[in-house]
Every structure is written in structure tokens, then in C-alpha cells.
């Protein structure tokens, strides 16, 4: 990163030191000289070799100046593009990883989950979003009770990493291979989009109403920042199964409520 910033700084300083007014004036003078030389040759009706040599040199100067301007423009464009890419990368790092990690860490701690630090590990962050909701996972024909959601999370991570590549293996089957490959690819994409939607829906539903969970999860598919903001809003709220009760069943909580506290 330091080397890249040094290159950007050096390029900017080099471009700033160029006297662009002088470059423009020299270009205009060269074009005028070419025009005068051509006019003199046309008036005499004779093309002197020396005049032709002068015209060629002036044309070379013009093209050299234009080439220098083009190189300078490309250098500026490269600096601007690199700067924009850095800004976008930092923005995505903050909104897609850092903020969700902090929010999920707080949510996991409030819920009583044993490993809240999973929030700061890229793949485990997704795993944590899947397992925090204590509700049945439902997507297409897939059903999984809340204590089996970790298997769904693992399957989703495998599909995310290898799903598209594996779908291409059907190409080796004669005749129907390409068709099977396309069908497998569509199935993988549908599972990834559906899994992402259900993941967002369930974790929002753990802290909010069904209406809001449906709305935020649908918008979050197209605008991930919405889901990030939702995590920030819910990170200090109590989940539907009660603060610190992640590993307690409903029966255990009911028993605790019925047993009076010892004085």
C-alpha cells in the first residue's frame, strides 16, 4: 500500500511540474509553422526538399507533443482510477465486513452464543448469520430445524466456494452434458440467492416483525447496505428467545420462570 501511494504521489508531482501553457503554445507555434511553410510552397508551385524536410520535422514535433499530452492524460486517468478503486475497496471493506462483524459480534454476545468472535472471521461471519436465529430453516423443498441450521450454513459456504465450478463437470457427459450443466448452474445460483435471502430474513425476524424482515431481506438482496444498517439497528436488541438464552430450550426457560428465586 505504501509503495502504491508513493507511485501516485510521484506521478502527481511530475504532472504538476509540467508547464502545460508552454506545451500548448509550442503546439500552436508548430502548427502555424507548418501552415506557413505549406502556403509558401503552394505560392511558388515548387516543393523544395528543404521545405519538405522542415514540414516533416514540424509534423513530428506536433505528433510528439500530442503523444506527450496523451501519456499525461492516461497517467492522470490511471491515478484517478486507482484512487477510486481504493476508495471503493475501503468502502466495501467497511460496509460488507467491518460493520457487519462488529454488529454480529454484539448480537452473538447478547444472545449468549459461545463463539461471538466468529463474526470477525470472513467465512464464519456468514456461518454466524445462519445459526443465530433459533427457527426452522425453510427454502424451497429444504427444511431444517433450528439446531440443524449449522449444516445449512456449511452447505451454503460450500456452494458459494465450489458450486459454480462443480456445475461445469456435467459438460463431460455426451449429448445431455451441456443441458445438465446449465440446469445445475441455475440450481446453484437459485440456492445461493435463496439462501442469502433466507439468512437475512431469519436474522432480522429474530429481532423484528415478519413484515419488516420480509421487506429488509428482499431489498438487502439488491442493496446489501440495507442489511448492514439493519444489523447495526438490531445489535443491541434482545433476540426473540431472550438475552443469553441461545443454548436454552423453551422448556428450560419455562421451568426457570416457574421456579421462584431463593431469597
- Give a three-class secondary structure readout of 190-221: HHHHHHHHHHHHHHHHCCCCHHHHHHHHHHHH
Q: Yes or no: say if 124 and 154 are a contact pair by the CB < 8 Å rule.
A: no
Q: What is the pLDDT of residues 174-190, one digit of tens each?
A: 777 788 888 888 888 88
- pLDDT at residue 263 greater than cutoff 50: no
User: Helix/strand/coil (H, E, C) string of 122-144?
Assistant: HHHHHHHHHHCCCCCEEECCEEE
Apex CA 155: angle with CA 150 and CA 156, to 5°?
95
Q: Does residue 164 register a pLDDT over 80? A: no
The per-residue pLDDT of the chain, averaged, comes to 79
Please indicate whether residue 148 or residue 248 has the higher confidence score (pLDDT): 148
Residue 19 has phi, psi (to 5 degrees) of -85, 90
Say whether pLDDT at 120 is over 90: yes
Contact status, residue 217 vs residue 189, Cβ threshold 8 Å: no
Residue 122 pLDDT greater than 80, yes or no: yes
Grid cell locating 120: 470477525
CB 198 within 8 A of CB 139: yes
Cα–Cα distance for residue pair 107/85, rounded to 1 Å:
32
Strand stretches in the chain, DSSP E: 137-139, 142-144
The residue behind cell 444489523 is 231
Task: List, in sequence order, every residue forming a beta bridge with 40; answer none if it has no partner.
Answer: none
Q: For 200-224, how does the pLDDT look when each residue is reduced to its tens digit (9 = 90+)?
A: 999 999 999 999 999 999 999 999 8
Q: d(Cα 177, Cα 12) in Å, to the nearest integer?
A: 54
Indicate the pTM of the whole model: 0.66
CB within 8 A of 20, min separation 6: which ones? none
Residues in the chain: 263
For 178, the grid coordinates are 451441456
Residue 144 pairs in a beta bridge with 137
Grid coordinates standing for 52? 519538405
Residue listed under C-alpha cell 437475512: 200
- Rg (C-alpha) for the chain, rounded Å, is 33
Closest to 23 in 3D by CA, of 62, 76, 77, 74: 62
10 Å Cβ neighbour count for 75? 14
Amino acid at each position: 500500500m505504501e509503495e502504491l501511494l508513493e507511485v501516485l504521489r510521484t506521478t502527481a508531482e511530475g504532472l504538476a511540474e509540467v508547464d502545460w501553457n508552454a506545451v500548448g503554445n509550442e503546439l500552436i507555434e508548430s502548427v502555424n509553422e507548418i501552415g506557413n511553410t505549406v502556403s509558401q510552397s503552394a505560392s511558388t508551385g515548387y516543393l523544395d526538399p528543404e521545405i519538405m524536410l522542415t514540414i516533416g520535422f514540424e509534423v513530428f514535433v506536433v505528433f510528439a507533443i500530442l503523444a506527450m499530452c496523451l501519456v499525461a492524460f492516461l497517467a492522470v486517468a490511471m491515478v484517478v482510477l486507482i484512487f477510486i478503486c481504493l476508495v471503493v475497496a475501503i468502502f466495501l471493506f467497511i460496509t460488507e465486513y467491518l460493520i457487519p462483524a462488529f454488529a454480529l459480534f454484539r448480537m452473538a454476545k447478547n444472545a449468549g452464543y459461545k463463539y461471538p468472535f466468529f463474526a470477525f472471521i470472513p467465512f464464519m461471519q456468514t456461518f454466524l448469520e445462519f445459526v443465530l436465529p433459533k427457527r426452522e430453516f425453510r427454502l424451497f423443498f429444504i427444511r431444517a430445524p433450528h439446531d440443524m441450521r449449522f449444516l445449512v450454513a456449511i452447505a451454503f459456504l460450500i456452494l458459494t466456494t465450489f458450486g459454480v465450478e462443480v456445475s461445469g463437470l456435467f459438460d463431460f457427459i455426451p449429448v445431455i452434458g451441456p443441458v445438465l450443466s446449465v440446469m445445475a448452474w441455475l440450481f446453484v445460483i437459485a440456492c445461493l440467492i435463496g439462501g442469502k435471502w433466507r439468512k437475512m430474513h431469519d436474522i432480522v425476524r429474530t429481532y423484528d416483525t415478519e413484515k419488516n424482515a420480509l421487506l429488509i431481506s428482499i431489498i438487502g438482496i439488491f442493496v446489501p447496505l440495507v442489511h448492514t444498517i439493519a444489523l447495526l439497528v438490531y445489535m443491541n436488541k434482545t433476540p426473540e428467545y431472550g438475552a443469553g438464552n441461545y443454548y436454552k430450550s423453551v422448556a428450560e426457560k419455562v421451568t426457570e420462570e416457574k421456579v421462584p428465586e431463593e431469597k
